[in-house]
Structure 1
Amino acid sequence: MDFVLLIHGDETLWDAFTEAERDKMAEAHRQFGRSMVESGVIVKYGCGLTRSHAAKLVRPDGPAVAGPYAVGREQIGGIWVIEVQSADEAESWARKMPYAPGDIVEVRPCDPA
């Protein structure tokens, strides 16, 4: 079963990290990905995202609008798409993920349709 792990966080906290802290978090995520693969998880995709100000909201009946979809400070900062046996296993992996201060991870099953 496929699940997406959506990393929600406050971009202002991430922006306050030093370059060394950002590099350390990026390496922690690379190691996290390796540990999933070594444990038999099929990692279909993973990436960090650019800041939300680079986002465009597209609707079928209007122009694209710049900016994040959410009004609050929490934005999606990265994603992992994994194939595991159950929601419990996906949750377990989400708990092992490297977290920046204030981050939360949304675990959502992918629609097989």
Structure 2
Amino acid sequence: MDFVLLIHGDEMLWDAFSESERRRMAEAHRRFGREMVEAGVNVKYGAGLTRSREGRLVRPDGPAVQGPYAVGREQIGGIWIIDVASAEEAESWARKMPYAPGDIVEVRPCDPTA
């Protein structure tokens, strides 16, 4: 079953990281991806995202609106899509993920009918 692991975090904290801290976090996520693959997880996709201010919300009945969008300070900063046997297994992998200060990870099943 496919699950998406959505990384929610405070972009202002990420922006305060030094370049070397950002590189270390990126490398930690690459290692995490390799760890999942080596454990037999079908990693379908993983990516960090640009800042929410670079995104746009598009609705069919109006102009596109530039981000950020969330009411609070947390934005989605990255995603992994993995194929594992259960929600519990997806949650287990989410707990092993590299976290920046204040990050939380949302684990959500993908809709196989969509």
Partner of 2:63: 63
TM-score (norm 2): 0.98
Q: Hey, which bits of structure 1, 4+ residues long, moved more than 3 A?
A: none
Ranges in structure 2 where 5+ consecutive residues have no aligned partner:
none
Q: How many residues were matched structurally?
A: 113
Unmatched 5+ stretches in structure 1: none
Q: Does 1:99 align with 2:61?
A: no
Q: Which SS does the other structure have where 1:95 is aligned?
A: helix
The CA RMSD measured in Å over matched residues stands at: 0.5
Report the TM-score, using the length of structure 1 for normalisation. 0.99
Give 1:1-113 correspondences, 5 Å limit. Answer: 1-113=1-113
CA distance, structure 2, for counterparts of residue 60 and residue 87 of structure 1: 34
Contact 1:4 1:82 in 2 (8 A): yes
Identical pairs, percent: 82
Contact map agreement 1:57 1:68 (CA 8 A) in 2: no
Q: Secondary structure of 1:46's partner?
A: strand
TM-aligned CA deviation for residue 69 of structure 1: 2.4
Question: Residues of 2 paired with 1:40 and 1:80: CA distance?
Answer: 15
Determine the C-alpha separation between the residues in 2 that align with 1:68 and 1:20. 25
In 2, the alpha carbon distance for the partners of 1:97 and 1:36 equals 10
Query: 1-side partners of 2:68 and 2:16: how far apart?
Result: 19
Q: Which amino acid aligns with 1:109?
A: P
Q: Deviations over 1:15-71 (max 9, x none)?
A: 000000000000000000000000000000000000010010011111101112212
3-state SS, counterpart of residue 50 of structure 1: coil
